[in-house]
Amino acid sequence: MATDTPTLPSEDAIQAALATVNDPEIHRPITELGMVKSVDIGDGGAVAVTVYLTVSGCPMRDTITNNVTEAVLGVEGVTDVRVTLDVMSDEQRKELASSLRGGQAEREVPFAKPNSLTRVYAVASGKGGVGKSSVTVNLAASMAADGLKVGVVDADIYGHSVPRMLGADGRPTQVENMIMPPSANGVKVISIGMFTPGNAPVVWRGPMLHRALQQFLADVYWGDLDVLLLDLPPGTGDIAISVAQLVPNAEILVVTTPQQAAAEVAERAGSIAVQTHQKIVGVVENMSGMPCPHCGEMVDIFGTGGGQLVADGLTKTTGATVPVLGSIPIDVRLREGGDEGRPVVLSDPDSAAGSALRSIAGKLGGRQRGLSGMALGITPRNKF
């Protein structure tokens, strides 16, 4: 009596399944990146797939193996999957880097090019301790949750804190002269803290700060970003000047607290835009008050009106209207989210702080959506 012979899966079907697997760092299909070395279909539907890793010891090797296995197992007729990992040759890595750059020269900052559709926001403050990094991280996470492609450069070289606040515990991977940034909560991020051992301090002078920022902007593979946020160090020092030189189209977002002493310093930091010919997109007032835990009444611990004072002063100095984009109340959940690497806009989006931050992010993200709509169907932003 004849028995039905099982239908073997086709290689085309397997390649189609592999095309749904993205490299976890580059975020593009492994088939498109030339990472599929071979596909062998054996008797009985057993499939062997060999995948190239960009570098040996790739930190995402287990993720790639699992994702490839899951995708191929979903093909009709496949009964078993065996994934073998190989490593790209030097020539293959060079070809990959060239492809990702889209033919652009090395050491070129893509966000400074005239045809860039990425909004770049440089988040500045006059002094430390006003919550600038917390604001940056939560704005990035909120915009990413709304569907935008977002990146963050932790440009506060001496006081880097973004990776912890964003929950980014991965390490960058280098492919030739390109750096693949880790992602957390949907946001790509790079920080000098990812390259230093433990909690070691960074002891550099100005020229080294400039080179580090240039490398973060030019050598990191950011892909097609909608928004790039730069968390600047406090004040108007080397990094602020370097940002104006490397990304002259970056718009400044000033963060302050309500008290007059902080507002005066914040206004001073924002006024650098007059000398660098940059636009100030607005002012964010952080720590604007604390709801009483017993009666709910707002307690103005740091006073009131600082954000508006900064906005009015910058409007007068620059000759252009500078709005207050929002006020963020003191909320212990905002601090806890930073310590735990879970931004409050994700962990408790309807809290007072979460709602205020999401509102500000919506305004900034809406400006980018308007820009993209004006592009009339042009989808590529920055190939590198």
Q: Name the binding residues.
A: 126-133
> Is residue 127 packed enough to be buried (19+ CB in 10 Å), middle (13-18) or exposed (0-12)?
middle
Report the C-alpha gap between 51 and 119 in whole angstroms: 35
- Residues forming the annotated binding site for ATP? 126-133
Report the C-alpha gap between 122 and 46 in whole angstroms: 52
> Is residue 224 packed enough to be buried (19+ CB in 10 Å), middle (13-18) or exposed (0-12)?
middle
Listed in order, strand segments (DSSP E) in the chain are 36-41, 46-53, 80-87, 119-124, 150-154, 173-175, 178-180, 183-184, 187-191, 227-231, 251-256, 280-286, 290-291, 298-299, 324-328
Q: Which residues pair with 153 in a beta bridge?
A: 190, 230
Locate 298 and state its tokens: 């707002």
Q: How far apart are the first and last CA of the chain?
A: 62
Locate 154 and state its tokens: 């932790």
Residues 6+ apart with CB under 8 A from 126: 234, 235, 256, 262, 264, 265, 266, 267, 268, 269, 270
Q: Which is nearest to 68 in space by CA: 43, 37, 45?
A: 37
Type of residue found at 45: G
Q: Which is nearest to 105 in space by CA: 188, 178, 191, 32?
A: 178
Locate 67 and state its tokens: 């994702």
Report the C-alpha gap between 345 and 142 in whole angstroms: 6
Report the C-alpha gap between 97 and 179 in whole angstroms: 10
Report the C-alpha gap between 363 and 351 in whole angstroms: 18
Which residue in the block uniquely carries the two structure tokens 């390259």?
195
Tell how many helices (H) and how many strands (E) occur in the chain: 13, 15
